[in-house]
Amino acid sequence: MRTLVLGGARAGKSARAEQLLAGRPTVRRLSLESTPNLVTALREDPDTATLVDHLGHWSADAADLPDAVAQFRGDLVIVSTDTESLAAANLAVGSVCDDVELIVAGRVFVPTESVVAPAAPAETPTSANVAPTTPVPAPVPSPAEQPSPSEQPAPTEASASPVPASSAALDPTDAELFDVIDLPDDDVADAARARLLTLTKPPNALGRLEDLGVWISSCQGVCPPRRITAPAVVVFAGDHGVAREGVSAFPAEVTSQMVANIAAGGAAINVLARRAGASVQVLDMSVDTDDPDPHVARYKVRRSTGDLRRGEAMTLAEARRAVAAGRAVADQLVDAGADLLIAGDMGIGNTTPAAVLTGTVTGKEPVVVVGRGTGIDDAGWIRKTAAIRDGLRHGRRHRHDPLSLLAAVAGPDLAAMAGFLAQSALRKTPVILDGMVVTSAALIANALAPGAVAWWCAGHRSTEPAHGFALAELGLEPILELSMRLGEGSGAVTALPVVADAVDIMIDMATFGEAGVADQA
């Protein structure tokens, strides 16, 4: 990720730059005082995540800077002022960056490609409902959406399925807009690290357990942390139109059957959650049936989805309604006392849109992100790869507009997951991410609410190739690696006892002084 952040004086550029690098284990912050030659600094260490604030301090390096930026391999965020005196430098640096953002009064906008290069001829809109121009998801409300001729038209309202009355009662207005995400408490994290050094063990002898203890402490804002007593799992279910093209080993009706199984307590997620002490609920967001349980279907947006191969999975209004539903569910759980949240998935064919989302955000090609899902044969793999290829053609046009991306190639289940994950971070509630489908939604959630990833840990790494790419994009290392690929939230719930162990270590383990044990010399 190489990003140029532009804006006027006191527009919020530096705060946005910090958000973009939130969650990275190490960030190198370059200033004129510490770094007289910016080009040399970038070339000497092209891998460490780096923040340059701001470009105008190194005007003498302008000639060689674009090449140094282009060769930088790690995450790089450059802050610059949008002034005439820096126009040439901004243009040169922006031309080699992956993204260019403009900050106006704290709001985030992505200039169109024509800012730095001639744009391709605009497509002729085929619908009055044209996808909105970015703003990219901003930490504060953005201006009203307006049509962009360079974006693909979003699916028309005429293609929408009827809206269930229960879903219509939810106010989806501006559901994709999130306030600034506060990061976990750094001071508490430092206190947790200091406490770990006093416990009766060599430094870092408990490895990831210590990291998890620090993370939970910083999320809760207290050291030692409170025990996890009310973890909650929400399984978001939905069918996908692409499943009709033979991309799954199971028929689409299995989705509704498994929703009933989860609701009855008979699925793997129920078994694992009972052992871990977590509650489970399942929500029908877009299963291709009329769910007999109105509570399970209370936020249902539509039956199945449109064709992601044509960029018509759902409408913008449906995507917005699904995000609002996910946010509402997170709020309800946190208000009821949940202290850790997990999202799960259920839907035949859902790894195909998940692979499209992951490929779009990470820039990976179809043959790299495609996996076997429920166990498809070679012919099914070929069909699935072709569907992902077609979906990526549409998804990439919406890379900087998460809501339009969800509408084009995802579904209400994935959109609700994204809203759920982002809202959990807004409510300062830690989350354990599950597998490939949930993590693809997490990529979108972190775009909707930059910095949300700091409130998440990765429960496991599945066997689906796209999952590894998504975790790398988020900068997360999985707790477990058990060759799981079920979904439902199963991997995250399997990791939950490990997180609980980390908390117990912070609370119950004796210090050297308490135990009368000599510390290291």
- Residue by residue, DSSP assigns 94-122 as HTTSSEEEEEETTEEE---GGGTSPPPPP
Quote the tokens at residue 203.
């430094």
φ, ψ for residue 361 (rounded to 5)?
Answer: -70, -40
- The CA distance from 308 to 313, in Å, is 5
The 10 Å CB-count burial string (b at 16+, else e) for 404-437 is bbbbbbbbbbbbbbbbbbbbbbbbbbbbbbbbbb
**Do residues 353 and 395 make contact, with C-beta atoms less than 8 angstroms apart?**
no
Tally of helices (H runs) and strands (E runs) in the chain: 19, 12
β-sheet bridge partners, residue 343: 234
Tell how strand 231-238 and strand 340-346 pair up.
Answer: parallel
Q: Is 195 exposed, middle or buried (0-12, 13-18, 19+ CB in 10 A)?
A: middle
Q: Output the CA–CA distances (angstroms, integers) from residue 46 to 42, 75, 288, in the order listed.
A: 5, 9, 49
What is the C-alpha separation between 298 and 303, in angstroms, rounded?
Answer: 13
Q: Would you say 139 and 296 are in contact if contact means Cβ atoms under 8 Å apart?
A: no
Among the listed residues 101, 365, 488, 514, the single catalytic one is 488
488 is catalytic: yes
Collect all residues with Cβ–Cβ distance below 8 Å to 365 and sequence separation of at least 6.
359, 392
Q: Per-residue DSSP letters for 49-84? A: -EEEE-GGGGGGGTTTHHHHHHT--S-EEEEEE--G
Sequence-distant (6+) residues with CB within 8 A of 36 are none
Q: What span, in angstroms and rounded, lies between the C-alpha atoms of 66 and 471?
A: 29
Supply the residues annotated as catalytic: 488
